[in-house]
Every structure is written in C-alpha cells, then in structure tokens.
Amino acid sequence: MLTRSLIGISRVGVYRRPITPVMARVWPMMRTIQAKRLASNSIVTLLQSQEQIANTDLTNTMAQAEFYRSLLSNNYPHIVVQRYETPGIAASAECTRLYIDALNKIGKKGKAEQVSRALNDQLGSSGVVANNATAGGTPLPHGFGSRYEPVHVIVSESLLTILSRWLKWLIPVALITYGATNAFNYLVENNTMFRNTEVPDKSVDVSQSTVRFKDVQGCDEARAELEEIVDFLKDPSKFTGLGGKLPKGVLLTGPPGTGKTLLARATAGEAGVPFFFMSGSEFDELYVGVGAKRIRELFTQAREKSPAIIFIDELDAIGGKRNPKDQAYAKQTLNQLLVELDGFSQTEGIIIIGATNFPESLDKALTRPGRFDKEVVVELPDVRGRIAILKHHMENVETADDVDPSIIARGTPGLSGAELMNLVNQAAVHASQLSAPAVDMNHFEWAKDKILMGAAKKKMVITEDSRINTAYHEAGHAIMAMYSPGATPLYKATILPRGRALGITFQLPEMDKVDMSKRECLARLDVCMGGKIAEEMINGKENVTSGCASDLANATNVARAMVTSYGMSEKIGPVQLSENWESWSPDIRNMADTEVRDFLISSENRARDVLTKKKLELKRLAEGLLEYETLTREEMEKIVKGEPINKEKTMSNTVIKSKADIKGLSIPNAARDA
C-alpha cells in the first residue's frame, strides 16, 4: 500500500507534515499502467498539475473534487480512496460522492453504502457535509473517529466567553488595587514615616556671605529703609527703651531685577544674624496641611536662633487674595502665616521680609498694619543709580581708558540692575572673544545693542527687494523722528536683521522720562506711521508689506491710551475709561473707538505730508542704510544733509538678486559638518 501524506490539525493551531505528492509515489506503477493502457503524456501532466493545485490549498474542496474526477476518469479509484481518507484534506458533499464511486469501483460496496447513508443523513439534517478533518457532528462510519483515523476538532470560543474569562480576573484585581491605593494615601497623610514634611534648616550662614549694603546700588531710598532694620537687630533696646516699635514685617515690591533679594541678603549680612530663606512655592505640596505646618516650623527655627531674619521670596505664591469660593485647605497656609505674624512680640528680635513683583495681588489682611505694615518700593534705577551700578560691576572688569559709565547710563534708560550687570558681562565676554586687551566703549555699545535691539543675524539670506524695502521703511521712521516736534531722539537705525525684525529704528530719551505730553504721544504715532508711508511712496499702496504690523500695534496702543486713560481726546473729555470699560454705555465706547481711529488716520496723513516734503532726505537716508547697514544719529543727520561720513561700507547678509543666485549659496561649515 502506498504511503499517505499526513496533515494534522490540533486544538491550538494547524501543523503540517510534508506531503509527498501522490503522483510522484505512483509513477513507478504508472509506467506499467501507461504501457498497458497507452496513456498519453498530456494526461500525466494534467494529473500532476491538478494534484499540485489540490496540495497547495488543502481546504479548497473544489480543487479536491476536480482532482478526484480526473483520477476516476483515468481509472485511479484507489488513489481517490487513499486521498479522501487522509486526515486534513477538505471534503464536500461532491467529494464524498466521488469517494463513494471510488469505493464501488474497487469493490468495497458495503463501505460505500455506509458512507452513502451517512451522507444522506447529514444532507437531510443540515444540507451541508462537514470537513472530515474538522467536523464536530455525526462521524462517518467505518474507521472515521477511530484510534487510527481520529477526527480533529477546533473549538471556537465566542467573544462573550473570552470577555467573561478576563473580567473574572480583572474585577478582583481592580478592587484590590483601589483599596490598596486608598489605604496607602491614608497612611501617607496620617503617618510621618511615609513622608517627610519637616522643613529642613533654611538658615544661611551669614558669616560666609560677603553681601553688604555697599554692594546694593541704584536704590538708595530702599537701602535707607532697611538700615533701620539693621539697627534694630544690632541694638533692640535702642528702640524699645523709648517705647518705639519696629515694623513686624517689611514688604519689598518692584519690577524684576531691581535687587529685592540682594537687599534682603545685605540686611542679614550687615546685621550678622541668621538668615532664613524660602520661596513661596516651597510651602505647599500635594498633601493638605503641609504648607501651614512648614510655616510653623520655619518660625520655630527662627525663634530658636533669635535674633534672625526670615525672607520669603515670591510672597504672592502663598499670600494671594482669598476668595470665598476657595476650598478651606487652600487658605490654610496664608492663615497660618497671618497667625505667626500676629504672634510676634517686638522683643523677639525676628524680622520677616517678603518680596513680590505683584503687591496688588496680595491679600489685604497680610498688608494691614501689624503684619507687613511697611512697604519698601524698589524702583528701576535712574541715571545716577545706573552709573553707580555700572561702576560697581566694572570693578572686576579690565576696562579701557575711554570707557565712561555715565555715557552708557544715559543710553540705557529703563534697564534694571540685573540687566546692567548682564550688559557688563556680555561686553567682557565679547572683548575676550575678540582677544582685546581691555573692554572698550565699542564692546559696551555692542552689548547694549544686543540687549536693546536683539542679536544680529548676519548669516541670514534675504532678497535684494526685501533689503531695499526695509531700508526705506526704517528711513521713514528715522525721518519722522527727526522732523516731528516732540519726538524722542534717535539712537540708531539698522537694516541688519535683529531678533524677529528685518530692521530696527531705535529711539532713546536723553534723560529718564516718567510722563508724556500729548505732543510727544502724537509724535510717537507719527514715527510709527513713517515706515508704512515710506513703503507706500516707493511701492504704491497695493505693495505695502506686512512689516508694518508691529508699528500699527504700537500706534493703536498709544492712541487707545490717549483716549481711554490720558484724557487727551476732546470728544471724550477728561474721563478714565480703561479701568471699567465694560461698564460704560455702548455710545461712549463707540465714540472712544472712533476717536482712536481718528488719531491714527490723522497721524498717517501727517506722516505722508512730512515724507512728501522730505522725499530727498528719505532717499538719501535709505541709500545710506543700504551702503552702511547701521547708522547712528550723528551719521544719519549728516547723510540727510548730503554730507559724507567716515565709515566703511558693509553688507553682512547674503543678498539674492535672482533665482540663479540661490545655486551659488555655500553651506556653512557647521551645517556641512552636521
């Protein structure tokens, strides 16, 4: 008997053993059959191809039936019987009928009748015959489902069964996890063994601190206020002997970078007492009550080392205004701080200093007399303060003989002490990069330009048209600044891209200004409109670029402030609208909007008139910017008069005049290396 190829199907998947083609096994016998029956080679080729197709997909019942028909028509019924009874080969009703025919031809009529009856029973009940390798219904008789001819079954589970099996385990696990989490949180909140909410020793060793009042420059008034604190800490009896009481808390307010923290450190350094430093954000954490507890522990540490200074930076983080809608735990830290402040006695020798940039956001209970009852405002330094700050920071810098701090101070109005320190440092770094023997005025000017106008973008690629348009735009601003009454004096104009701008015209007041007149406000509007009108004059209204967006935004802000805050509108009158804008009637608000628009349109017309009259000066200045790239006020004044200047022509950026120039661009070394 010929060896059969076997294919097994298990519960977990299909595994296959190599099938030896039936026709390859019977060809030795076929030679005899061919000789006897004179079969043609075409029949052999046909049977081989059909067998290959049937073996390629054993589940294809149509291919199996077609192969069975060819075998029967060529008188090979025994091969049909062998293949049909091989496990793993699909069988349909048609395949079963062909199998019955093969049984009859080889003389197994009894088995053929049994199979026929089983087939009729199955067709009668379901109309379908199952795969003899996978059927789970009534097995075929005579060997099927026996030890040697097992029926292989694949159990297919429903989605509901799979889900129920997983849920049976997931639900208990979820409940256990939830319970364990709640239990852990309870232990964490009620047992200190799981967490440490103790405030570490926040004292600063003042003996190691070299900060003194002489290091604090530019805020003489604020320093004088804190000198009283130092005197109290050094000799409390001097104040208590006459019945005087020193403030319990001192609040330092002012813009960022003015030296509030430095003042507090200098106070502790001068007094020589322990200095406790904490930030407002260090008190509160995830757990309720931690902030209040840390407040208590901080003051306990300070009392143990009395006399002492407690400094809380960014006080608004814990001392913000309370809201009735806030949860109770959100107020606990502030409430505890209020209690500690009220619990002081003047003989304890403890001073608390708070610092904030937003004093208006503090709770009124915190700033009332008896708590933070003394407010020291640390303003931006004036010109005298800036000179003192610059001299202090230049002490450790090797400066050239031509360096004059007063000139730098006059050109840096509005800069804080921190920004001035940064200016000196950047100038020193720049001089070191250039291998200069000392830091001269050119290095300080470079640092000042970088801080005021942004870093220069000398490697930026721009088009020739954009460069020309930028030159006329900045020249328009500069001409309006020169010829508008009340305008702030020019400082510099450049078409070298800096920061986010393609060009900048910078104005600096000769002295510190704390207010503006209506004429100065109108001049500022005219200067803002100068760039847009200059573009319009050379390119036409349809070709004005979006580069004027920031100018229009600045002009609109000034015009709105004139109408709603400064009382400079004749139609609106001396009315302050900006604070409660929504409370005013629609008519008043519409009138204010109309006034703002009228101010801007009038400014645009004035700028157009001035630039039309000064068209020659505008052209000269634009050409000068194209040649020299950056011009000072003195250089611009010479150029508009047609006078030559002693300066080297420069072009830092790569300028593209046509598309062909793009191909010739070289890749920077850094980009090439990357």
Q: At what angle do helices 518-539 and 586-613 cross, to 10 degrees?
A: 60
pLDDT single digits (tens) 245-274: 777 788 999 999 898 988 988 888 888 888
| CA–CA distance, 653 with 15 (Å, rounded to integer) | 72
Assign 279 a pLDDT band (cuts: 50, 70, 90).
confident
Q: 126-130, 529-533, 645-649: lowest mean pLDDT where?
A: 126-130
pLDDT single digits (tens) 46-84: 888 888 888 888 888 888 888 888 888 888 888 888 888
Decide: pTM greater than 0.75: no
Highest mean pLDDT (candidates 382-396, 456-470, 497-511, 657-671) = 382-396
Q: 191-205, 352-366, 567-581, 653-667: lowest mean pLDDT where?
A: 191-205
Q: Which residues contact 639 (CB under 8 A, 6 or more apart)?
A: 620, 621, 624, 631, 645
Check residue 34 and give its pLDDT: 45
Judge contact between 487 and 481, C-beta under 8 A: yes
Highest mean pLDDT (candidates 79-88, 119-128, 331-340, 516-525) = 516-525
Highest mean pLDDT (candidates 108-112, 203-207, 360-364, 560-564) = 560-564
pLDDT at 500 over 70: yes
| CA–CA distance, 455 with 498 (Å, rounded to integer) | 5
Check residue 411 and give its pLDDT: 84
| CA–CA distance, 525 with 519 (Å, rounded to integer) | 10
When pLDDT is averaged across residues 266-283 and rounded to a whole number, the result is 82
When pLDDT is averaged across residues 583-594 and rounded to a whole number, the result is 93
Beta strands in 285-408 (DSSP E): 308-313, 350-356, 374-377
- CA 279 to centroid of chain Cα atoms: 25
| Burial classification of residue 142, based on how many CB atoms lie within 10 Å of its CB (0-12 exposed, 13-18 middle, 19 or more buried) | middle
pLDDT at 203 over 50: yes
How distant, in Å, are the alpha carbons of 108, 170, 386, 403 from that of 407?
122, 76, 10, 8
Give the chain's mean pLDDT: 80
Strand order through the sheet with 350-356: 203-204, 275-279, 308-313, 350-356, 249-253, 374-377
Q: Which residues are catalytic?
A: 474
Assign 36 a pLDDT band (cuts: 50, 70, 90).
very low
Check residue 672 and give its pLDDT: 44
How distant, in Å, are the alpha carbons of 7, 177, 264, 327 from that of 270?
96, 57, 10, 42
| DSSP codes, 601-630 | HHHHHHHHHHHHHTHHHHHHHHHHHHHHSE
Instruction: Return the number of other C-beta atoms located less than 10 Å from residue 613's C-beta.
Output: 12
Check residue 288 and give its pLDDT: 58
Check residue 289 and give its pLDDT: 62
Tokens 């385990």 belong to 169
pLDDT single digits (tens) 316-355: 888 878 777 666 666 778 888 888 887 655 446 788 899 9
pLDDT single digits (tens) 418-457: 999 999 999 999 999 999 999 999 999 899 988 887 888 8
Positive or negative: CA dihedral 485, 491, 496, 498: negative
